[in-house]
Structure 1
Amino acid sequence: MRLVRRVALAVEAVAPSERTYLLTLGSQQGNAHLHWHVAPLPPGTPYERQQYHALMGENGLIPWTRDQAADLAARIRSAL
């Protein structure tokens, strides 16, 4: 949990966010594993579009180029 929090704080340091969601997913019934999602919510997101709504791909995705993703990853690494 300390490492997950550290990563979440690094994400918040470089990506402005309304709030950051931490989700853990996995199942003993499927393939037993655990992984975390650190999901920053864009600033100004109306309340009714937060929480589960914000995490559902069918409600839209933020378009990213490969270069934008690489830049964000580099900034997060620097913040860590």
Structure 2
Amino acid sequence: MPENPVTPAGAAPLEGVAELSYEQARDELVRVVGELEQGNATLEQSLALWERGEALAARCEQWLLGARERLEAARAAAEGS
């Protein structure tokens, strides 16, 4: 297995994921899933896509958890007023 597998787009699987907005991560995750579903990628490419997809899904979850926390805080503040 190569030391630094790359996606077909040329990016390392985890590169730049932490900087993505929710919408960017979601849209890229949809693209990655589509590529995997096509089944045209080599095994190495599929593994790299899978790793990137996992990182993108985790990034989306971070955003959603953060949004939930903000809503709960706003709700608690409104109830306390």
Higher helix share: 2
User: TM-score of the superposition, structure 2-length normalised?
Assistant: 0.25
User: TM-score of the superposition, structure 1-length normalised?
Assistant: 0.25
